[in-house]
Amino acid sequence: MAETRRLFFALELPEEAKKQIIQWRATQFPEDTGRPVAAANLHLTLAFLGDISAEKQKALSQLAGRIRQNGFTLTIDDAGQWLRSNVVWIGPRHAPLGLIQLANMLRSQAARNGCYQSPQPFHPHITLYRNTPRAVSIPQPNFRWQFKVDEFALYESVYKQGRTRYLEHQRWTLSN
Ligand code: 3AM
């Protein structure tokens, strides 16, 4: 069988934002909340592609490279839990149009190339905990992390020796 890779497009977070998020998380949630996502793995997923061939990766990378849009400012000022997927997340209360446009474009390119896309609308979020065993009390979002986004990237999710790592494959700059 041809080799495949588990790939997704995402936004990386600035190091400073990651530090602040980790500090906030450590002070706000009990230890048994769930499996905390490692600082290095904090990201905002734009489009999940699934396990795809090198050929499909190339086609989708070419399409991603043709996206022409400006960067945008992202404000992370909300938090919540999804009981269906058992995750605790933070994200923007109001997603900027640029973020929605970028994700919708990547998701429709993926769908047109045979990558299953969830019919649910895009809910931009950064997962903080996975496998949350029960409903947790979500603290008031007493934060407002804001940063400029002018790049996006293609990542591979690699699961090895019980750990998930995200390897960056390619990165694109957002400009008109
Ligand atoms: O950042 P989050 O946690 O939203 O949940 C996975 C993670 O996104 C998501 O892809 C990102 C990198 O692994 N993911 C994994 N399997 C998925 C699937 N079958 C999926 N998203 C949609 N459908």
Q: What is the pLDDT of residues 146-172, one digit of tens each?
A: 999 999 999 999 999 999 999 999 999
- Mutation pick for ligand 1 pocket among 6, 13, 48 (CB with most ligand atoms within 8 Å): 48
Q: What is the mean pLDDT of residues 46-65?
A: 98
Of ligand 1's listed atoms, the one at least distance from the Cα of 116 is: 23
43 is catalytic: yes
Number of C-beta neighbours around residue 63 at 10 A:
16
Q: What value of ipTM does the predicted structure carry?
A: 0.89
Cβ contacts of 132 within 8 Å, gap of 6 or more: 33, 34, 81, 86, 87, 88
- Identify the residue whose tokens are 């934002």: 17
Q: How confident is the model at residue 132 (pLDDT cuts 50, 70, 90)?
A: very high
| Ligand 1 center from residue 47 Cα (angstroms) | 8
Q: How confident is the model at residue 1 (pLDDT cuts 50, 70, 90)?
A: low
pTM attached to this predicted model: 0.96
How far apart are the C-alpha atoms of 95 and 144, rounded to whole Å? Answer: 14
Position 176 scores a pLDDT of 83
Of ligand 1's listed atoms, the one at least distance from the Cα of 37 is: 3
Position 79 scores a pLDDT of 98
Comparing 100 with 2, which gets the higher pLDDT?
A: 100
Pairing of strands 87-91, 126-130: antiparallel
Residues in a beta bridge with 69: none
Mean pLDDT over each residue of the chain, to the nearest integer? 97
Of 4-8, 91-95, 160-164, give the lowest mean pLDDT range.
160-164
pLDDT at residue 107 greater than cutoff 70: yes
pLDDT at residue 56 greater than cutoff 70: yes
What confidence tens digit (pLDDT) does each residue in 112-123 have? 999 999 999 999
Q: What is the mean pLDDT of residues 20-24?
A: 97
Both structure tokens of 154: 């293609």
| Ligand 1 center from residue 157 Cα (angstroms) | 9
| Ligand 1 center from residue 107 Cα (angstroms) | 13
Q: How confident is the model at residue 2 (pLDDT cuts 50, 70, 90)?
A: confident
123 is catalytic: no
Both structure tokens of 15: 């190091």
| Ligand 1 center from residue 71 Cα (angstroms) | 23
Smallest CA separation from ligand 1 atom 22, residue: 48
